Chain A
Amino acid sequence: ETGVTQTPRHLVMGMTNKKSLKCEQHLGHNAMYWYKQSAKKPLELMFVYSLEERVENNSVPSRFSPECPNSSHLFLHLHTLQPEDSALYLCASSLAPGPAAAFFGQGTRLTVV
């Protein structure tokens, strides 16, 4: 248990669906992240939020829309996804600013059909 909780753990959605992934941490961290883990690829950073402000968008398609309403919660809204978006989506948090060890959630396994 790392203190970072992601829901749901598994999600199957059609290409026309709209769904959201949720991440929650109560570690007092000020930075939160979304990562994508695909088979046979390194983890890819998608978004970084620092003090609830998006500070990095790593060339992610607009069908992925993050939201950080407060420093403890992070969402990833999904719409009109493609099958190649199927992956494990990991949320992480860390103290900010600067580099620090990140604590990861267990991930949401997303399958797009």
Chain B
Amino acid sequence: AQSVTQLDSHVSVSEGTPVLLRCNYSSSYSPSLFWYVQHPNKGLQLLLKYTSAATLVKGINGFEAEFKKSETSFHLTKPSAHMSDAAEYFCVVSESGGTSYGKLTFGQGTILTVHP
């Protein structure tokens, strides 16, 4: 079984300051991990993915995430927030084993607010 916990439901930062969105996961098999972003009234857009290659993953729009197996974490970071980063972010896990058929399990989401 797999699960995802996003530790903060809301994060608020000032423009130009670093962003940290926290995610912990649980998985019976080797997981693939993703971060998706959802802007208001829009669908989900893939930011980045980890699939057992390099543990530090770079994504679009300056975001990156580090896979830490010992901590079962996959936190999302960005050095400097931009107003356009304001959105809801979802951490997602998918198991590599079993018959998952690419089943994605979503966290509850973190709403990022960026202040001028």
Contacts and interface: CB of A to CB of B under 8 A. Distances in A.
Interface of A: 2, 4, 6, 31, 33, 41-43, 45, 48, 50, 55-56, 90, 92, 94-107, 109
Given A50-B101, A104-B45, A106-B42, A99 B106 contact: no
Interface of B: 32, 34, 36, 41-46, 49, 51, 90, 94-96, 99-109
A99 B67 CA distance: 17
- Which of B51, B102, B103, B107 has the most chain A CB within a 10 Å cutoff? B102
20 contacts: A4-B43, A6-B43, A31-B101, A33-B104, A41-B108, A42-B107, A43-B90, A43-B104, A45-B103, A45-B105, A56-B101, A92-B104, A94-B102, A96-B102, A98-B100, A99-B96, A101-B49, A102-B102, A102-B104, A104-B43
